[in-house]
């Protein structure tokens, strides 16, 4: 099905099941521990051996020798594959860093060996016996030091944000010079780790030249293609299966070393091999959100109208890498006739920087939304009003392109009302409760809505049951549930009548889970397949498909009705289709919006910041399931707390690695950090987006949160911080005297 | 993890004797620190002596009025004990500020005293570390040192001791009771129990090889108001940037021990005379001679401000 004109009325609009806050259908399996994650799939292949990978102990240089004699002789060892055993493997289309092979070391913890043994403990013990000799080379590990050498670079995050290397509208410099009120400030965001609960893990088994990998991956089709390319085998010989994913946040969008080394280990051991990356390797072997240095300049008239806005970002990556697209949202968020964005990329020898939840927009909004707060203060305006004054209903760089829907003003107004924004004291540092300085902050949330081609197969059986198969993944988001809701609504059956099977590369290729496109696009693919199935059903039962109504397990037209299952026949009835998109995305700017409101308390003596309450008001198209959508948003808000207050991969600038490479050192929020969270979804249907009239929502919940917290901290203390994470050491010298 | 042999000890003296007999033996109590370190091969004992079966899990009153805490009393139980809560509030609060509920259910009094540093370079076996591998060098110096010591450190090591419990025990002047392989017992004041790193950061306590901790004793209650203020980047489940254990009397005198600043619980008795004059002079005396790094210089200010906040609360 091609979607190239705005959606009209369709069966989804009945909203009998879609749009209802139903529980996640995978919930009982997850809470009882019966949903097996990749490493737990003991039954999929017999005689599994355990793999353990060794990461490089240097960040740049060469492996000159590896002595594996002791390891090979260790108890239980079945096979060892080292990086010196083979030339460098081909790189997958989505990979920047090499995953394995050859003596050259590109970054710390690059995998240099896999040891396969009868038990996990034996594999780990033997791995520690490998003696490695290196020839170290100096590397570039310090973004601030390399920033002067950074080159202009365009990029697309592949996840909905992107920008040209430099983009100009009007005359930024002229307008900025003339503006009566201006801001020119530089901010930084640190490297961050996905830190998902389930580390990257895979079980690999060969049958002749056919390879099956049970893994944990967000994008099955990409993974299959890139694994085949990396191993140099035909893609049709590879099957990936990933029905449950214990969190990804972008860290599992791409093929990683776990799948490659499990496959190589299994080939060497001649039996199935399972392995997981250790925590340190999640930080230093896989990808991370790269650090940025961002400069923002804003010029405005005294009435608050922005006349000039510039956002420039510098980040680093390995050679052939790409910049963090942190300026992307600034192209679209606020009006202003004179505009400039630019991205610069420095070459660094740190692990690969790549997508992490809301790449581009998350760190970009952390910065631009502080700048807006600073500017509002200079103008003497309320920060909510300042944003409203600068709202735009069209793409400011291409005014002929309207937004398909844009309710940012409504988000901010409703949020302000609900949060009690009027009680905020505009003068910072004035509200004191005991030892706490209390403040409120606001930020706009913005995240582009991406639509992706997505396919599905639906099968009707004689009892009226419907089975959906698609290689879509559920990374904890609720895909199983919204897909089941879609099929149930379309086929007029109860939710319990729908079975959803996900994550297998033998199923039709879906949008996958990334860039908050998964929910809308994958359900639209299921919609397309169901439209086909409805037609086939109507034909079998002798109904005119345009007139047939599907309700309560029956098909009706006029005064005739028949049980749905009757159409299935003995063999069942199968339909397959995909949704693909025309040029609506070019004609209209599709984005999602939020107003984020936060209240924090800062200990006046120690500078410890504790969030007290948070509110997100979101406008993100039709909400397919308010319960799972809310879970997505509160999870994202929690990530925003981490980004604002604690998350940072600390770089050892001498040796080139992330030092705090475990969950003791890399702090993310714990329960005690997360207070009252409230989420409101505005009523919105977006017929431009898809037949589901839905949009992405998961990543929106993060976009802007960090800045809202930073702004609340400023309102509480009067200390303006511009470097994340905003830990107490950065303000302790500027807090009031302790009595 | 290296293969190891295992036995269950039947008495404290036997445990100590067994440890002395077997080179490379270690006691295992809650295992919450030792097992993690064994998995990473930072600890690689050839033999484990499980002491959990020993009846050292009681908190008993002492004749002269203090408490005797068995070495195997779990952190959860110690924190919840009525007498501890009433008379040694600083200890109860310190325990509850540490780790998580699950860990405290396993963690023992002796194990807590002997937990090892959280220096990230200590944990990365690809990096040199004098504590892990004597003589290999200290990777932390010149690296990422936000968590590290500001005082009492050496050219060989700038790590901190991560325990909360031990800081409170230092303020209370607890005494560690032990038994040696030959059956001899001794009482080690906590001030002499932990060591500064000097040239030998791998030697962390004054325990001799195989020496086994049987109990920790507390003197009769000090009264006063008792505080444990732990400052950290997140609200729970994080090690201290700085912590202040304080026992403050009505007249403004008191005792203060600091966590997160040194290789051992940091207390300078002579400096406590300054307490009635306020946090600034007191902390200047407590941290006299501090040599922070660029990353952790904030700890000096933070310690002073935290103490000021505690003193204000004590007065209020
Ligand atoms: C994730 C995490 C977070 C933590 N957070 C904190 C925190 O915030 N604050 C804090 O203070 N602590 C924290 N801890 C540390 C925790 O308190 C210690 O791991 C625990 O107290 C150790 O006690 P255990 O009984 O498990 O010791 P074990 O691991 O069994 O033993 C530790 C050491 O003590 C030795 N030992 C044990 N018993 C005896 C004995 N009777 N005589 C002689 N030697 C003995 C062992 O040989 C070993 O060397 C944390 C730990 C973890 C894993
Ligand atoms: S500070 Fe101590 S523990 Fe840390 S690396 Fe240096 S020697 Fe090792």
User: Region A17-38: what's the mean pLDDT?
Assistant: 96
DSSP β-bridge partners for residue B259: B243
> Is the per-residue pLDDT at A157 higher than 90?
no
| Span B142-166, pLDDT tens digits | 999 999 999 999 999 999 999 999 9
Q: Do B235 and A672 touch (CB under 8 A)?
A: yes
Work out whether strand A155-156 and strand A338-347 pair parallel, antiparallel, or are unpaired. unpaired
Distances (CA, A) of A427 to A301, A423, A713: 22, 12, 12
CA dihedral B50, B53, B54, B58 (to 10 degrees): 120
User: Region A624-648: what's the mean pLDDT?
Assistant: 98
| Span A446-467, pLDDT tens digits | 999 999 999 999 999 999 999 9
Residue among A733, A451, A442 nearest A616 (CA): A442
- Between chain A and chain B, the number of residue pairs with CB atoms below 8 A apart is 104
Q: Cα separation of A487 and A523, whole Å?
A: 8
Give residue A644's pLDDT: 98
> Is the per-residue pLDDT at B211 higher than 80?
yes
Shortest CA gap A636–chain B (Å): 17
> Is the per-residue pLDDT at B1 higher than 80?
no
Question: Which residue in B has a C-alpha nearest to residue A727's C-alpha?
Answer: B233
Residue A148 is classified by DSSP as: G
Q: What angle in degrees, to the nearest 10, is found between the helix axes of A479-491 and A518-541?
A: 30
Three-state DSSP class for residue A210: strand
User: How sure is the predictor about A574, in pLDDT bands with cuts at 50, 70 and 90?
Assistant: very high
Q: Which residues contact A304 (CB under 8 A, 6 or more apart)?
A: A376, A379, A381, A385, A386, A389, A390
Three-state DSSP class for residue A157: coil
Q: Which atom of ligand 1 is nearest to the CA of B35?
A: 29
| Pocket of ligand 1 from Cβ distances under 6 Å | A 664; B 26-34, 36, 51, 71, 98-99, 103, 106-108, 110-112, 114-115, 162-165, 212-213, 239
Give residue A668's pLDDT: 98
Annotated catalytic residue A699 = yes
Give residue A274's pLDDT: 98
Residues of chain A found within 8 Å of residue B142, distances taken between Cβ atoms: 654
**Under 8 Å between Cβ of A516 and A37:** no
CA dihedral A356, A358, A363, A366 (to 10 degrees): -140
User: How sure is the predictor about A669, in pLDDT bands with cuts at 50, 70 and 90?
Assistant: very high
Choosing among 3.30.1330.20, 3.40.640.10, 3.30.365.10, 3.40.1030.10, the CATH entry for A2-35+451-586 is: 3.30.365.10
Give residue B316's pLDDT: 84
CB contact, 8 Å: B316 with chain A?
Answer: no
Residues of chain A found within 8 Å of residue B4, distances taken between Cβ atoms: none
Q: Which ligand is nearest to the CA of B119?
A: 2
| Span B161-180, pLDDT tens digits | 999 999 999 999 999 999 99
Question: Which residue in B has a C-alpha nearest to residue A57's C-alpha?
Answer: B126
Q: Which atom of ligand 1 is nearest to the CA of B112?
A: 21
Three-state DSSP class for residue A389: helix
Give residue A425's pLDDT: 97
Q: Do B121 and A651 touch (CB under 8 A)?
A: no
Q: Which residues contact B136 (CB under 8 A, 6 or more apart)?
A: B128, B129, B130
Output the six-digit token pair for A674. Answer: 């997360």
**Under 8 Å between Cβ of A71 and A80:** yes
Pocket mutation for ligand 2, best pick of B128, B136, B157 (most atoms within 8 Å of C-beta): B157
| Span B45-57, pLDDT tens digits | 999 999 999 999 9
Mean pLDDT across chain A, nearest whole number?
97
Q: Cα separation of A19 and B195, whole Å?
A: 63
> Is the per-residue pLDDT at A545 higher than 90?
no
Of B123, B125, B305, the CB nearest to A662: B123
User: Region B23-44: what's the mean pLDDT?
Assistant: 96
Q: Cα separation of A564 and B60, whole Å?
A: 75
Q: Cα separation of A702 and A366, whole Å?
A: 10
Give residue A123's pLDDT: 98
Residue among A127, A8, A24 nearest A74 (CA): A127
CB contact, 8 Å: B2 with chain A?
Answer: yes
CB contact, 8 Å: B272 with chain A?
Answer: no
> Is the per-residue pLDDT at B71 higher than 80?
yes
Q: Do B146 and A650 touch (CB under 8 A)?
A: yes
User: Region A97-102: what's the mean pLDDT?
Assistant: 98
| Span A287-310, pLDDT tens digits | 999 999 999 999 999 999 999 999
CA dihedral B125, B129, B133, B136 (to 10 degrees): 110
Residues of chain A found within 8 Å of residue B139, distances taken between Cβ atoms: 652, 655
Per domain, the residue ranges of chain A are 2-35+451-586, 38-138+200-278, 382-448+590-739
CB contact, 8 Å: B127 with chain A?
Answer: yes
* pTM of the predicted model as reported, rounded to 2 decimal places: 0.98
Residues of chain A found within 8 Å of residue B41, distances taken between Cβ atoms: 125, 128
Of A604, A727, A739, the CB nearest to B233: A727
Give residue A161's pLDDT: 85
User: Region A112-130: what's the mean pLDDT?
Assistant: 97
Q: Do A659 and B306 touch (CB under 8 A)?
A: no
| Span A504-538, pLDDT tens digits | 999 999 999 999 999 999 999 999 999 999 999 99
Q: Do B234 and A670 touch (CB under 8 A)?
A: yes
Residues of chain A found within 8 Å of residue B306, distances taken between Cβ atoms: 605-606
Q: Cα separation of A230 and B107, whole Å?
A: 46
> Is the per-residue pLDDT at A739 higher than 80?
no
**Under 8 Å between Cβ of A452 and A521:** yes
Identify from A638, A652, A661, A709 which residue to disrupt to test chain B contact, counting B C-beta atoms within 10 A and taking the largest count.
A652
Locate tokens 């007191």: which residue? B282
| Span A31-84, pLDDT tens digits | 999 999 999 999 999 999 999 999 999 999 999 999 999 999 999 999 999 999
Q: Cα separation of A715 and A286, whole Å?
A: 38
Residues of chain A found within 8 Å of residue B127, distances taken between Cβ atoms: 57, 655
Residue among A686, A706, A683, A704 nearest A695 (CA): A686
Output the six-digit token pair for A583. Answer: 């040029």
DSSP β-bridge partners for residue A213: A204, A240
User: Per CATH, the architecture of A38-138+200-278 is what?
Assistant: 2-Layer Sandwich (3.30)
Do the two domains A2-35+451-586 and A38-138+200-278 of this chain adopt the same fold?
yes
Give me the CATH code for the A382-448+590-739 domain, please: 3.30.365.10
Interface of A with B (CB under 8 A): 55, 57-58, 75, 121, 124-125, 128, 280, 435, 603-608, 610, 645-646, 650-652, 654-655, 659-662, 664-665, 667, 669-673, 725, 727-729, 732-733, 735, 738-739
Q: Which helix (DSSP H) or strand (DSSP E) does residue A439 occupy?
A: strand A436-448
Question: Which residue in A has a C-alpha nearest to residue B143's C-alpha?
Answer: A652
SS in 3 state form for A52-98?
Answer: EEEECCCCCEEEEEEECHHHHHCCCEEEEEEHHHCCCCCCCCCCCCC
Question: How far is the centre of ligand 1, averaged over its atoms, from the C-alpha of A81 (Å)?
Answer: 37
> Within 13 Å of residue B18, how many CA atoms lie on the same side as its CB?
22
Quick count: other Cβ atoms within 10 Å of Cβ A574?
16
| Span A347-375, pLDDT tens digits | 999 999 999 999 999 999 999 999 999 99
Q: Which atom of ligand 1 is nearest to the CA of B74?
A: 25
What is the separation of C-alpha A363 from the centre of its chain, rounded to a whole number of angstroms?
13
Residue among A163, A143, A196 nearest A37 (CA): A196
User: Region B294-311: what's the mean pLDDT?
Assistant: 98
What is the separation of C-alpha A203 from the centre of its chain, rounded to a whole number of angstroms?
24
Angle (CA) B274 B278 B283, round 5°: 65
Residue among A440, A454, A425 nearest A523 (CA): A454
Residue A40 is classified by DSSP as: G
**Under 8 Å between Cβ of B44 and B38:** yes
Q: Cα separation of A415 and A424, whole Å?
A: 13
Q: Which atom of ligand 1 is nearest to the CA of B33?
A: 29
CB contact, 8 Å: B133 with chain A?
Answer: no
* Active-site entry in A324, A580, A699, A737: A699
Q: Which ligand is nearest to the CA of B142?
A: 2
Output the six-digit token pair for B288. Answer: 């006299």
> Is the per-residue pLDDT at A677 higher than 80?
yes
SS in 3 state form for chain B?
Answer: CCCCEEEECCCHHHHHHHHHHCCCEEEECCCCCHHHHHHCCCCCCCEEEECCCCCCCCEEECCCCCEEEECCCEHHHHHHCHHHHHHCHHHHHHHHCCCCHHHHHHCEHHHHHCCCCCCHHHHCCCCCECCCCCCCCECCCCCCCCCCCCCCCCCCCCCCCCCCHHHHHHHCCCEEEEECCCCCEEEEEHHHHECCCCCCCCCCECCCCCCEEEEEEECCCCCCEEEEEEECCCCCCCCCCEEEEEEECCCCCEEEEEECCCCCCECCHHHHHHHHHCHHHHHHHHCCCCCCCCCCCHHHHHHHHHHHHHHHHHHC
Q: Cα separation of A675 and A669, whole Å?
A: 11
Pocket mutation for ligand 1, best pick of B7, B16, B33 (most atoms within 8 Å of C-beta): B33
User: Region A100-129: what's the mean pLDDT?
Assistant: 98
**Under 8 Å between Cβ of A242 and A207:** no
User: Region A679-688: what's the mean pLDDT?
Assistant: 97
Rg of chain A over Cα atoms, rounded to whole angstroms, equals 27
Q: Cα separation of B225 and B87, whole Å?
A: 10
DSSP β-bridge partners for residue A338: A308
Question: How far is the centre of ligand 1, averaged over its atoms, from the C-alpha of B108 (Å)?
Answer: 7
Residue A738 is classified by DSSP as: P
> Is the per-residue pLDDT at A420 higher than 80?
yes
ipTM: 0.97
Residues of chain A found within 8 Å of residue B124, distances taken between Cβ atoms: 280, 659, 661
Q: Which atom of ligand 2 is nearest to the CA of B156?
A: 7
What is the separation of C-alpha A481 from the centre of its chain, rounded to a whole number of angstroms?
19
**Under 8 Å between Cβ of A81 and A268:** yes
Give residue B88's pLDDT: 98
Q: Cα separation of A612 and A589, whole Å?
A: 35
Output the six-digit token pair for B218. Answer: 């507390």
Q: Cα separation of A632 and A545, whole Å?
A: 37
Work out whether strand A498-502 and strand A466-470 pair parallel, antiparallel, or are unpaired. parallel
User: How sure is the predictor about A91, in pLDDT bands with cuts at 50, 70 and 90?
Assistant: very high
Output the six-digit token pair for B6. Answer: 């295992």
Q: Measured in Å, how far apart are chain A's first and last C-alpha atoms?
A: 70
| Span B103-112, pLDDT tens digits | 999 999 999 9
User: Region A200-212: what's the mean pLDDT?
Assistant: 98
């Amino acid at each position: 099905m091609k979607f190239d004109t705005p959606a009209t009325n369709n069966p989804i609009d009945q909203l009998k099941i879609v749009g209802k806050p139903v529980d996640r259908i995978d919930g009982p399996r997850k809470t009882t521990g019966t949903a097996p994650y990749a490493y737990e799939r003991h039954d999929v292949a017999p005689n599994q051996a355990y793999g353990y990978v060794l990461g490089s102990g240097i960040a740049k240089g060469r492996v000159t020798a590896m002595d594996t004699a002791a390891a090979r002789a260790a108890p239980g060892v079945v096979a060892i594959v080292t990086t010196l055993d083979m030339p460098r493997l081909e790189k997958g289309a989505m990979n920047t860093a090499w995953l394995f092979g050859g003596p050259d070391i590109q970054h710390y913890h690059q995998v240099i060996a896999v040891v396969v043994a009868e038990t996990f403990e034996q594999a780990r013990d033997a791995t520690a016996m490998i003696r490695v000799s290196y020839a170290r080379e100096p590397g570039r590990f310090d973004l601030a030091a390399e920033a002067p050498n950074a080159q202009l670079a365009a990029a697309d995050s592949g996840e909905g944000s992107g920008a040209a290397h430099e983009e100009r509208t009007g005359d930024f410099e002229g307008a900025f010079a003339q503006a009566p009120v201006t801001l020119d400030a530089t901010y930084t965001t640190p490297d961050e780790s996905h830190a998902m609960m389930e580390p990257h893990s895979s079980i690999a088994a060969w049958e002749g030249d056919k390879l099956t990998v049970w893994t944990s991956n967000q994008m099955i089709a990409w993974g299959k293609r890139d694994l085949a390319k990396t191993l140099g085998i035909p893609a049709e010989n590879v099957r990936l299966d990933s029905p449950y994913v214990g969190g990804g946040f972008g860290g599992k969008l791409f093929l990683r070393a776990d799948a490659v080394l499990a496959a190589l280990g299994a080939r060497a051991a001649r039996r199935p091999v399972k392995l997981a990356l250790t925590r340190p390797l999640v930080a230093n072997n896989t990808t991370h959100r790269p650090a940025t240095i961002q400069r923002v300049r804003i010029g405005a008239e005294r009435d608050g109208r922005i006349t000039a806005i510039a956002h420039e970002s510098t980040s680093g990556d390995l050679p052939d890498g790409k910049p963090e697209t942190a300026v992307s949202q600034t192209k679209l968020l606020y009006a202003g006739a004179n505009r400039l964005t630019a991205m610069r990329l420095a070459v660094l020898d740190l692990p690969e920087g790549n997508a992490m939840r809301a790449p581009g927009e998350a760190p970009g909004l952390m910065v631009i939304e502080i700048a807006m707060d600073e500017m509002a203060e200079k103008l003497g305006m309320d920060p909510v009003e300042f944003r409203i004054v600068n709202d735009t209903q069209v793409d400011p760089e291409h005014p002929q392109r309207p937004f398909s829907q844009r309710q940012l003003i409504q988000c901010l107004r409703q949020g302000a009302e609900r949060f009690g924004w009027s009680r905020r004291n505009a003068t910072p540092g004035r509200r004191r409760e005991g030892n706490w300085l209390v403040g409120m902050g606001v930020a706009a949330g913005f995240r582009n809505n991406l639509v992706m081609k997505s396919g599905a197969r639906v099968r009707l059986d004689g009892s009226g049951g419907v089975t959906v198969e698609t290689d879509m993944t559920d990374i904890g988001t609720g895909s199983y549930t919204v897909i089941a809701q879609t099929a149930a609504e379309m086929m007029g059956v109860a939710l319990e009548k729908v079975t959803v099977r996900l994550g297998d590369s033998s199923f039709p290729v879906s949008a996958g889970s990334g860039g908050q496109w998964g929910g809308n696009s994958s359900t639209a693919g299921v919609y397309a397949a169901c439209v086909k199935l409805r037609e086939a059903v109507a034909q079998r039962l002798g109904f005119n498909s345009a007139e047939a109504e599907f309700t309560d397990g029956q098909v009706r037209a006029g005064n005739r009705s028949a049980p749905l299952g009757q159409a299935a026949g003995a063999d069942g009835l199968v339909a397959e289709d995909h949704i693909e998109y025309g040029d609506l995305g070019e004609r209209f700017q599709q984005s999602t919006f939020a107003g984020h409101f936060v209240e924090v308390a800062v200990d006046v003596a120690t500078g410890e910041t504790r969030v007290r309450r948070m509110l997100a008001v979101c406008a993100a198209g039709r909400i397919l399931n308010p319960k799972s959508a809310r879970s997505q948003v509160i999870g994202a808000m929690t990530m925003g707390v981490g980004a604002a207050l604690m998350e940072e991969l600390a770089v050892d600038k001498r040796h080139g690695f992330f030092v705090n490479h475990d969950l003791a050192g890399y702090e993310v929020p714990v329960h005690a950090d997360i207070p009252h969270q409230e989420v409101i979804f505005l009523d919105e249907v977006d017929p431009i987006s898809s037949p589901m009239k839905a949009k992405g929502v998961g990543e929106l919940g993060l976009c802007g949160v960090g800045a809202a917290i930073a702004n609340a901290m400023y309102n509480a203390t009067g200390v303006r911080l511009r470097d994340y994470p905003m830990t107490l050491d950065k303000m302790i010298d500027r807090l009031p005297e302790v009595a | 993890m290296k293969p190891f042999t295992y036995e269950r000890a039947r008495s404290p003296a036997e445990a100590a004797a067994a440890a002395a007999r077997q080179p490379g033996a270690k006691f295992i109590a809650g295992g919450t620190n030792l097992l993690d370190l064994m998995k990473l091969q930072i600890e690689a004992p050839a033999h484990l002596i499980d002491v959990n079966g020993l009846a050292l899990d009681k908190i008993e009153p002492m004749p002269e009025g203090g408490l005797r805490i068995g070495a195997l009393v779990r952190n959860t139980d110690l924190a919840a004990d009525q007498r501890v809560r009433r008379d040694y509030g600083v200890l109860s609060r310190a325990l509850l500020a540490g780790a998580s509920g699950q860990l405290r259910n396993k963690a023992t009094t002796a194990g807590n005293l002997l937990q090892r540093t959280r220096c990230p370079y200590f944990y990365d076996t690809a990096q040199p570390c004098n504590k892990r591998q004597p003589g290999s060098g200290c990777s932390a110096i010149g690296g990422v040192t936000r968590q590290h010591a500001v005082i009492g450190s050496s050219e060989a090591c700038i790590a901190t001791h991560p325990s909360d419990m031990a800081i409170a025990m230092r303020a209370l002047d607890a005494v560690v009771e032990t038994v040696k392989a030959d059956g001899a017992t001794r009482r080690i004041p906590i001030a002499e129990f932990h060591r500064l790193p000097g040239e030998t950061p791998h030697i962390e306590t004054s325990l001799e090889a195989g020496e086994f901790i049987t109990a920790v004793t507390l003197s009769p209650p000090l009264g006063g108001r008792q505080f444990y203020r732990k400052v950290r980047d997140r609200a729970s489940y994080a090690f201290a940037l700085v912590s202040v254990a304080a026992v403050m009397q009505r007249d403004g005198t008191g005792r203060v021990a600091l966590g997160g600043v040194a290789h051992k619980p940091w207390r300078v008795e002579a400096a406590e005379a300054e307490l009635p004059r306020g946090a600034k002079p007191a902390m200047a005396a407590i941290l006299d001679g501090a040599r922070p790094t660029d990353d952790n210089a904030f700890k000096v200010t933070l310690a002073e401000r935290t103490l000021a906040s505690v003193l204000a609360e004590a007065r209020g």
